[in-house]
Amino acid sequence: MSTVYDFTVKDMDGKEVSLSEYKGKVLLIVNTATGCGFTPHYEPLEAMYSELKDKGFEILDFPCNQFAGQAPGSNEEIHDFCTIKFGTEFPQFDKIDVNGENADPLFVFLGTEKPFVGFGKGLKNAALAKFADMNNKKYGNRTYIGWNFTKFLVDREGKVIARFEPTVDMDEVKKAVEAAL
């Protein structure tokens, strides 16, 4: 069985990074965007990172522009926005596709290990589902991620143990991270 440690990704400068560098750490892998209604998730993500990084926790941030063009900037522009507006210090990687023919293999793996099962109940979630369905129709059976700020929790052995859609309360995400630590 594969783990996230079997993957190599590119950092924001285009250099190859083996995820095996994160062996033994609990990871939260997130596809992000700077112009999304969920962009404020950067704030609780950074707070969680600051509080838990010394306990073996890392957040891996992968910007993606596939959801209504909500991450149009360059890697540098996205990084500047995140550090200036939210003070982010966790690693940010190269902007990628998470769906379709050009989907990054890491996100194909994550989405296959923990497939999308919906955004949850409620009017807001139903509205997002309808919009996401329209946006993601073009990816067909290669739709792995429903929307920006989908989060995958990975244990210290590199196994995907949970998936959190952007509609999940960040307190719930934090509790799961703490339990994994």
152 and 163 Cβ atoms separated by less than 8 Å: yes
Q: Is 36 a catalytic residue?
A: yes
Domain extent at residue 16: 4-180
When the pLDDT of each residue in the chain is averaged and rounded to a whole number, the result is 94
For the purposes of burial, counting CB atoms within 10 Å of the CB of 48, is it exposed (0-12), middle (13-18) or buried (19 or more)?
buried
Task: Give the pLDDT of residue 107.
Answer: 97
> What average pLDDT does the segment 156-179 reach?
97
Q: What is the pLDDT of residue 147?
A: 94
Residue 70 has φ and ψ, to the nearest 5°, of -90, 5
Do the beta carbons of residue 97 and residue 178 sit within 8 Å?
A: no
Instruction: Please state the pTM of the whole predicted model.
Output: 0.94
How far apart (Å, rounded) are the C-alpha atoms in residues 8 and 81? 25
Q: What is the pLDDT of residues 35-69, one digit of tens each?
A: 898 999 999 999 999 999 999 999 999 999 999 88
Q: Which domain CATH number covers 27?
A: 3.40.30.10
Is the pLDDT at 122 greater than 90, yes or no? no
Dig out the tokens for 149 from the structure.
């700020």
Q: How many domains does the chain have?
A: 1
Which pLDDT score, from 0 to 100, does residue 68 have? Answer: 86
| Contact yes or no for 99/143 (Cβ under 8 A) | yes
pLDDT of 1 over the 80 cut: no
Which residue of the set 12, 26, 27, 36 is catalytic?
A: 36
Sheet harboring 26-32: ordered strands across?
57-63, 26-32, 151-154, 160-164
Residues 6+ apart with CB under 8 A from 88: 42, 45, 46, 49, 61, 82
Neighbour count for residue 140 (Cβ, 10 Å): 9
